[in-house]
Structure 1
């Protein structure tokens, strides 16, 4: 009997040691950042109201957490930058849509999550859309990533060369056109080769695999997924944790689908619904990734994040997504910035949770860094890089140790202008725009919404405004205090470069400022 007890004690001790050893090894990280996906297009949020379901994306939510108040940014470049840098984009200068050949892009001074994870033993791979600059100095493989396979721009820009009236002069395309889909690896050798337009190659090796044509767009996500899965397999073989940032081309306009997927949504909606069919395909591909990870044996030791870069471009109709909120991409109404967000991490994050606390892309940077082993990243960046990190460590909120999110506010920038502020349930609009194409209108008195009572920002008649403004004038003090702290941080840790704008009415003004 005594022998049995001793044997059982040894077995239990061994199990404890094994568990401790597993915990000591940091988890893999997979961030799937889709493009222009609306909250209503994900059936975990809308319960099939669009006529189709997204069971594979929904699975991440059902087996983990789904957030209702998660904020990206109004545009692709800004949304992606806020995640990978942990900063409001005003700090990196990446506040608006990146354009071919622009000198604006990810600077060496700006930190990335990949750079934080690298010394912790991670292999870092980025696959799919980057959109953080197309000069060689901007590419992921000189910013902490070991491998990059993807495109550099918003999707519709890549196909412009196929337009009938696009200039046929090769010199025009050479001067103004896009680069192809690149495959790059980081290197210890400093390559002095310098391209007249895209600059010095630096410590990386890159191959241009060819243009992203309309035909290639039909299946390019297959390429990105295959590269991602291969990277995971190699990191497992090397016995290293991986950080994979997978950025599918779906669902940015224009949607080009292979013939077998062209009418996936037709029975549910319409044969014209390119977006719906593309969304069903996208969900199938997310399922493919999950299946491959299960085969590899890494699914349950991987934190899986699913989100998107910005709100949907609803005005694109058959090529645009849907949000329940007012506004759309490029606006700072909720529809432009509040996005689907879910996280799966079995054994650490309780399944089936719905969280209503405020959270933002920047918080992923800090929280994932903490999970990987660096809980002091905010102070380290201030001291070592002279960079201010806006992201908050929200791990206790994820795991259920805290019922409150670390974040209780959000600053709504569009490009480099602050347009709105949220503190708890109160949102104050300083400037407003309803659609992608409308200019912003200054508000003499902030347009105030109780974002809990009125999440769709609909009570804005003259009577509504008069009542809430006169009753909630006290909001001015906490908002001013919050903005004072933010401005001080910008003065203490200045932006690394001046941001640009897509507002063509300010084109000359912007060009002149760049010359100074």
Structure 2
């Protein structure tokens, strides 16, 4: 294919043609026959920490997670976000977290969180008769208004933050003043319901961290049992605390592999995944249940040996591939071909339209743009996900997503991927805490098929520079995608993000924020 046609269509070179239709579409049935949805997430788990991906090179196995690869599809080019809050927001809200202002890690005491105007998958599934439950880590806001049970979930049991924030009150320098703790300290493990009841079951201490996933698992399985008995389709979002730092294991798990703390934790985590799959088998509902396994962001490697491993450049908190790529395994008997390996690009935002299509509403993205009522509320937003259901069913041979936007924690667009090509406008050296943003004179170009690990000598190697010069044509098509994305910002609701670093605050940033608000007001219908 010549360069002209590449500029026009960004030639489709993906290999993921193995997902074929094997049965009828369950979304056309009545509510009782709609597929159950079970989404299991780890935390900070890299692609290479699952043995289905690493083929045992790490020395331990995750047979239950691997089972999903054998009985479903394994995605090689699955994307989340660069850190916890952003990754979780992109999934449950179906919008890029740049829109929802949730690019930065949520902190205890902050008033920043999930906006009221943004529907969740659970809000939208309510129109289809689903029971909805979220169990485990939330990380989408500290206040009551941010709780899952105020955003479409019938029940929530879990913690609100990253584990190292939960244990801050036990550290040496943490203020002893009770008023400080009340204002800025982490809330306890909460159990809430949609009727407004909120129970604080106590703090998530280092000791409780050893067994908190057992508590989460018990509540989640109780939710499943109740809804199967009631013959009601359910959506379960099961969020493990493994493998976020710092890892505190119970005696039975510690030393299990003989390799290290992280492998021991992965084996424990895999056991819970196995228990979930066994529950579906025992209840006789596995054949009518979509199971998705993934995580929120790439591996955190700087905390090794209490940290993950990735062959990709970079890690959590950066906009290299190592910060964004995640494991993704999808099982849906009768729809997804067992043992399929998919190389097409997919992002966490894509699950909102895909799961709604599975429930019988394939046009949810367009409905939300025009205005849509769900769960007793009205929403009008720009969802950024694509419906992958036709692809999963084998009705198309290419996935609908062609682009990935790599926004940093502070809202800077560092890179874009369009099909095979990734263009870095800025790069990050270091990790989530020490990362320094570097802006080159000209953007860096990477072909993620020729160099998926971004290992090419990008500095001054003559071979790369010649190759780079031959591929400057990639800039213009990429700019078109960026303009299209940004053009939708003023037309729909937008929340300005927060930051853990105040160094970016200056007169120009305040003027830019004011200009954006004015543009937003002028562009809204009726203004």
Could you state the TM-score of these two structures normalised by the residue count of structure 1?
Answer: 0.89
Assess if the C-alpha contact under 8 Å between 1:501 and 1:510 holds in 2. Answer: no
Match of 1:284 among 253, 259, 271: 271
Alignment equivalent of 1:399, drawn from 393, 397, 400: 393
1:300, distance to aligned residue in structure 2 (A): 1.9
CA displacement, residues 74-102 of structure 1 (integer Å, 9 cap, x when unaligned): 00000000000111101111111001121
Kindly indicate whether the alpha-carbon contact (under 8 Å) linking 1:65 and 1:398 is maintained by their aligned counterparts in 2: no
1:169 CA displacement:
1.8
Q: Counterpart in 2 of 1:435? A: 430
Q: What secondary structure, in the 3-state scheme, does the structure 2 residue paired with 1:483 have?
A: helix
Q: Compute the RMSD of aligned alpha carbons.
A: 2.1
Question: How far has the Cα of 1:224 moved from its partner?
Answer: 0.7
The 5 A counterparts of 1:75-224 are 75-187=83-195, 204-224=196-216
Q: In the alignment, is the contact (CA less than 8 A) between 1:448 and 1:465 conserved in 2?
A: no
The CA distance in 2 between the partners of 1:121 and 1:351, in whole Å, is 29
- How big is each residue's C-alpha offset from its partner over 1:453-476, in whole Å with a ceiling of 9 and x where there is no partner? 100101113234422331112111
Matched ranges for 1:32-431 at <5 A? 32-187=40-195, 204-266=196-258, 269=259, 273-384=260-371, 385-415=379-409, 416-431=411-426
Shift of residue 264 of structure 1?
1.1
> What TM-score do you get using the length of structure 2 for normalisation?
0.87
Report the CA distance shift for 1:494/1:308 in structure 2 as closer, same or farther (over 3 A).
same
CA-CA distance at 1:164 after TM superposition = 2.8
Q: Partners of 2:123 and 2:404 in 1: how far apart?
A: 26
What stretches of structure 1 move > 6 A for 4+ residues in a row? 507-516
Q: Which residue of 1 aligns with 2:501?
A: 503
Residues 447 and 418 (structure 1), Cα distance of their counterparts in 2 relative to 1, 3 Å cut: same
**The residue matched to 2:399 in structure 1 has which SS?**
coil
8 Å contact from structure 1 (residues 35, 248) kept in 2:
yes
Structure with more of its chain in helix, by fraction: 1
Q: Deviations over 1:27-64 (max 9, x none)?
A: 00000111000111100000011100100000011100
Q: Hey, what's the Cα distance between the residues in 1 that align with 2:262 and 2:507?
A: 37
1:19/1:423 Cα in 2 relative to 1: closer, same or farther (>3 Å)?
Answer: closer
1:415-437 CA-to-partner distances (Å, cap 9, x unmatched) read 21111011111100011113322
Q: In the comparison of the two structures, how many residue pairs are matched? A: 478
Q: Distance in 2 between matches of 1:333 and 1:57?
A: 25
In 2, the alpha carbon distance for the partners of 1:510 and 1:477 equals 27
Shift in Å, 1:514: 12
Counterpart in the other structure of 1:10: none
Q: Say yes or no: does 1:31 pair with 2:39.
A: yes
**CA distance change for structure 1 residues 515 and 174 in 2, over 3 Å: closer, same or farther?**
farther
SS in 1 for 2:384: coil
Question: Does residue 489 of structure 1 match 2:476?
Answer: no
Q: Compute the displacement of 1:511 (Å).
A: 11
- TM-aligned CA distance change 1:129 to 1:19, over 3 Å: closer
Instruction: Name the CA distance, whole Å, in 1 between partners of 2:428 and 2:58.
Output: 26
Tell me the secondary structure at the aligned position of residue 433 of structure 1. strand
CA distance, structure 1, for counterparts of residue 250 and residue 489 of structure 2: 47
CA contact (8 A) 2:27 2:35 kept: no
Name the residue aligned to 1:191: none
Aligned counterparts of 1:285 and 1:115: Cα–Cα separation in 2: 27
**Unmatched runs of 5 consecutive residues or more in structure 2:** 1-23, 372-378, 515-527
Equivalent pair of 2:31/2:129 in contact (CA under 8 Å): no
**Native 8 Å contact 1:152 1:179 kept in 2:** yes
Q: Identify unmatched segments of 5+ residues in structure 1.
A: 1-15, 188-203
Task: Give the Cα–Cα distance (whole angstroms) in 2 for the partners of residues 132 and 475 of structure 1.
Answer: 36
Q: CA separation in 2, counterparts of 1:19 and 1:180?
A: 39
Paired residues for 1:8-23 under 5 Å: none
Tell me, yes or no, if the aligned pair for 2:77 and 2:346 is still in contact at 8 Å.
yes
Residue 474 to residue 28, structure 1, CA distance change in 2 (3 Å): same
Q: Which of the pair has more CA radius of gyration?
A: 1
Question: Residue 335 and residue 393 in structure 1: after superposition, are their counterparts in 2 closer, same or farther (change >3 A)?
Answer: same
Q: CA offsets per residue over residues 225-284 of structure 1, 9 Å max, x none?
A: 111110011111221100000000000000000011110121xx2xxx211100010001
Q: Distance in 1 between matches of 2:146 and 2:507?
A: 25
